[in-house]
Chain A
């Protein structure tokens, strides 16, 4: 190999390291929180629970009913945001794209704000916030999709413009709802939700995001040859026999569903979906068969530890996750972009 050659990290080794790191992180993260629990007890609770019986330990409830679902949700949401970021970056061929670019999360924030300030969907009980966010996300995604299609198709420029413009409009509506609310706590509740939180995590909340992340990842891996061709541009992909227009519709629907579900359970966690795909790309290159699994694993591990920081740094108060990801993420991103050798694509 000459000096100009690029090395790719070996995928199998990287995957094994990632899986092991994640499997260690999950129980380890349940030991940390407002009350610290000795490691021996944590191990004991996990061993008992994985065999299907409750543990005798006094911390059984804290670890298994409160922290375990929260840690698992962090891993799933982290993986999901990384995968969603990959989808949007491939769809719009832009290094600054993140999962919230196409307006889905802004729509979700209108729904969530309406739940908090106006009390709509109160009949849904503890699910009201998720239901509101999901409905907002679906309405926003459908609007962006309809307008972009009506104006000539899901081309990158069209999508970015439509998504950005509508995101501003949705944010304005959400702000207005907060402004006219008479609930004194409303502004803070909305802000906390917008910045992302896993404080409401429960075992019942897990299945939907698990399915959304799994389905998206599998579909991406099944289409990886076509997605790789799309990296080289729409004309090249079309000349290689890729059904570009239909592929873009599939990618749009995937990101809309995934981001809608993630935002509904965890609010708007920033930076993960922007940075993690870049990190994965830097490690194993831009081909999707290598990049998607690495991004998902990295995102999962990253958010598990971000949430640990959010729970412990200002304990007993929870810090919103975007505060932590922003503080960690901004320098990481600047370092990444500052690397002379790293450019996302020819267009940057």
Chain B
């Protein structure tokens, strides 16, 4: 399953305010792209357009060369799975019921889901024990992982994640992103933590000032100069004494 995503001259508005203009972005099949940028820069807005939840005000988004705007909703849902930031599912839904919703685009609305895909997806994220728990009994971090499990049950080749590591403790942040990495899917994710973006993603795209300020490998993009310009903090790049990998030390 291929999933080559391409945004051409995309413009996004909220009301009369232009949030992003003239955005060009290509994501190759199997590539993982992290969208970084300060609060309010338009990361979520861009993701919503890339996932076709919102239509761009101008320009177009293509999946494997086909405009998303002309693709039937069901077919699009089989190609793109979304984990959004502010989802609040019904409190009395069980975890396996919530994860089974990922099968909706694969079955007719009058059929009954077997639940097998949901349990497999929960297994994959180590959440099997939560299957019969009501959603309101989950912590914020557990809910986030359950929502990722739903995206896995959806079996879409393109995964769009809006800050998937929010609310997660350190271990689960890394576990989740490692799982995502191992899936071999095409991934576009908004990420706050620059270190995580650098470690788990092939490419980093910086959204700032109403457009894309920089894009490329973490080493090329996340320079002290750019981070200072975009985030307004000073950083120093140091090499990890044991692994030799580059890290950003923040010194606001």
Contacts and interface: CB of A to CB of B under 8 A. Distances in A.
Contacts of B134: 4, 6, 341
A238 B87 CA distance: 13
A232 B110 contact: no
B101 interface: yes
Interface residues of A, number: 41
B52 to A, nearest CB: 8
Nearest to A247: B109
Interface string B89-110: 1111110011001101101111
A240 B53 contact: no
Given A6-B133, A235-B84, A240 B110 contact: no
A120 B83 CA distance: 57
Interface string A217-229: 0000111111111
B132 interface: yes
A345 B135 CA distance: 10
Given A223-B109, A241-B73, A6 B94 contact: yes
B109 A226 contact: yes
Contacts of A223: 109-110
Contacts, number: 117
A161 interface: no
Interface string B104-140: 1101111111000000000000000100111111000
A343 interface: yes
A242 interface: yes
B143 to A, nearest CB: 10
Contacts of B132: 1, 5-7
Interface string A1-29: 11011111000000000000000000000
Contacts of B92: 6, 281-282, 285-286, 342-345
B76 interface: yes
A285 B133 contact: no
A4 B73 contact: no
Interface residues of B, number: 41
Most buried by B among A5, A221, A233: A5
A287 B134 CA distance: 13
Nearest to B84: A235
A152 B156 CA distance: 31
Contact of A238 (B73, B75, B97): B73
A125 B136 CA distance: 55
A241 B104 contact: yes
A178 to B, nearest CB: 41
Contacts of B180: none
B101 A236 contact: yes
Nearest to A228: B101
B147 to A, nearest CB: 9
A219 to B, nearest CB: 10
Given A226-B109, A289-B112, A239 B88 contact: no
A233 B87 contact: yes
Contacts of B77: 239-241
B80 interface: yes
Contact of A287 (B78, B80, B97): B97
